[in-house]
Amino acid sequence: MHFLKSISENVKPAQLQFQKKSKTKRLVIAALFASIAEVLQSAGGFLPGIGYFISPFSTAPILFCSMLSVPLGGVTYLLTILLLLILVPSELIVFPFTTGLLGLGIGAGFYFFKKRMTVIGCGTISLAAGILILLYGIKFPVLGPAVSSSFSVLASGGILLFSFIYAWIWVELGLFIFNRLKRFIIRS
């Protein structure tokens, strides 16, 4: 079954090669990923309309950096938050709880687990938790007026289902792009 297939053979060799790099090179790669994530996330503010279709791709740099090293992925995540705080504070509430947290969760799943389903589960839990905290904890209408900030089992189930599908898409997309980029990341 597709969900039970092992995916570690794609990622583990790249992780081992990445750990052999000097700390300086790893930090430079993390900073590069953070700046790319910040530019992609802020596209919604700078390019109204089309930018909102670009900003979900800010998950990718956090995901790739976390796939190679979870601590460095965390540094990339925090650095992106700081860049957003300085450059585009309006995007600061969404990134740490949704796109950034999803990238960090899936990347950690790739780093620690071998099966596709557990990686998708990590992404699902991180994204659903972020959305639920924003919606019910902070009372920020992240889903717009369609979903009330009063707790609802139906809305929470819908968020969980959406998070599963979205995380699954990102796992497959992340593997596809990572296999294309790993030669560049490892060689540099």
Question: Is the pLDDT assigned to residue 183 strictly greater than 70?
Answer: yes
Q: How sure is the predictor about 185, in pLDDT bands with cuts at 50, 70 and 90?
A: low
**Least confident interval from 42-56, 100-114, 126-140:** 42-56
Question: Is the pLDDT assigned to residue 144 strictly greater than 80?
Answer: no
Structure tokens given for 61 = 């740099």
Residues with Cβ within 8 Å of residue 56, at least 6 apart in sequence: 99
Q: How sure is the predictor about 3, in pLDDT bands with cuts at 50, 70 and 90?
A: low
CATH 1.10.1760 fits 10-187, yes or no: yes
In this prediction the pTM is 0.90
The residue-averaged pLDDT of 120-126 equals: 96
Spatial separation of the C-alpha atoms in residues 175 and 181, rounded to whole Å: 10
3-state class (DSSP) for residue 115: strand
The residue-averaged pLDDT of 152-178 equals: 92
Distant-in-sequence contacts of 42-51, Cβ < 8 A, 24+ apart: 42/84, 42/87, 42/88, 42/91, 44/91, 45/88, 45/90, 45/91, 46/88
Residues with Cβ within 8 Å of residue 146, at least 6 apart in sequence: none
Q: Give the best-scoring range by mean pLDDT among 4-13, 81-90, 142-151, 172-181.
A: 81-90
